[in-house]
Chains A and B, each alone.
Chain A
Amino acid sequence: MCPACSVSSPLSQSQKTIWALITKGFSVANIAKKLNTTRQYINQTRLAAEAKLATTLLDVAQVNDLQVTKLYPKQAMLLGYHPSLKRKAIITYTTSHGLKVWYWHDHPEEVTDIDFLNQTRQYLLEIAKERGVEIENAAQIHPAKFAHMIFTQLIPELKT
């Protein structure tokens, strides 16, 4: 693990940059040109980043007692289930905010901490920006619903 890396932010700076550009939809050739390097380097870095993220997501799932339903290495997301809480859970990663574990809430309106909700919204905006997901009127939507809208676009299994 690189010196600046941690569990909540497992990628090195170059891995972050390349992974973020790929997630935004840039082609490998374009990224190689932009960063003045080879396509092979970009591909290798991407694979290394995905492998690191996958390992970290699985570690976090294990620590949080989640049963892994499906891992999405390219999206850096993990869909799981907490057997004790009897809730679905999702683990996400963004280059700027790191990892977060999400639980399904039937009554999210009971959560009234404004700072918490604002932070959540910021995180979701970051995910949406990184993954290229566009949601209209994001500022007016409750973060829980906003999260659901983003996650259903990124995780096909949530639509059913």
Chain B
Amino acid sequence: MNIKKSLHNRIKGWLPKTPSVPKQPSAPSFKRTEISNEKPLMDKSFPAESSTNLVNGIMIGGSIAILLIGLSLWSSLNSSYWSQRNFLIFSGLDASDIEHVLINNVGYIAVCAGAVVYSSYLLIFVSINQLNPTIRNLTNKKISFRLANSFLNVGVIAITFSVSETVYYSYPLASTPPPLLSIGFGTTGTILIVVGVLLMAYLYFKFGKSLTKAQGGSANDFAKFYS
């Protein structure tokens, strides 16, 4: 009886163990207070110096490309002027050859040039946006920067249209004024680009400094900027 009683009273049950907490995947969230450690805003896949060099290279290369395209277009519009001066853009061809090629393909060249101009623009500015941490972060964080970017984009597209239209329609009769559509595009594009550049410059000088400072500065600077 005693044995039965003692068995009946024996304690059996559940006791806890502190659960092992599964390791969480690193959160993609942005922690402000931890960002002020060394160059936190830099894209880790690009060392700072090489990314700067790359941006410079793209900018210089793009500028030269645009300059060459501009010269080609200009020479096509004023081929008689250049032929008089025996100006050779392409070695191995004389002025009359160039004139012949350009006259017969002016529309095509204009459209291609427009595409190249726009591509160069994208290459330069998008690359800067992506590789330059300050501008990239500003563009990501500030809606006004995106607006400025949009102004620039639409402006360049409009200018490209304008140039293409002007060249295409006015070349065969050099004295013919460019069509109204082209003037409209050109004017709109110019205004948009000017507004975009001014806005971008204003925002960069207003916010860029504080962000640049925050990159190498304290967490408070950074938090202040984003607050």
Mark A residues whose CB is within 8 Å of B.
1, 3, 6-8, 59-60, 62-64, 90-91, 99-109, 111, 120, 123, 142-148, 151
Which residues, 86 to 129 on B, are CB-close (under 8 Å) to A?
none
Q: How far is B17's CA from A64's CA once the two chains are assembled, in angstroms?
A: 10
B13 touches which of A63, A91, A147 (Cβ 8 Å): A147
B14 touches which of A60, A90, A107, A109 (Cβ 8 Å): A90
Q: How far is B11's CA from A144's CA once the two chains are assembled, in angstroms?
A: 7
Pairwise interchain contact A7-B14, C-beta atoms closer than 8 A: no
Q: How far is B174's CA from A113's CA once the two chains are assembled, in angstroms?
A: 100
Q: Which residues of A contact B12 (CB under 8 A)?
A: 104-106, 108, 144-145, 148
Pairwise interchain contact B17-A59, C-beta atoms closer than 8 A: no
Q: How far is B215's CA from A106's CA once the two chains are assembled, in angstroms?
A: 60
Pairwise interchain contact A7-B15, C-beta atoms closer than 8 A: no
Pairwise interchain contact A100-B16, C-beta atoms closer than 8 A: yes
With A64-B17, A102-B16 known, 9 other A-B pairs at CB within 8 A are A60-B21, A64-B20, A91-B19, A100-B17, A102-B14, A103-B16, A143-B15, A147-B14, A148-B12
B24 within 8 A of A: yes
Closest beta carbon of chain A to B76's beta carbon, Å: 61
Pairwise interchain contact B22-A59, C-beta atoms closer than 8 A: yes
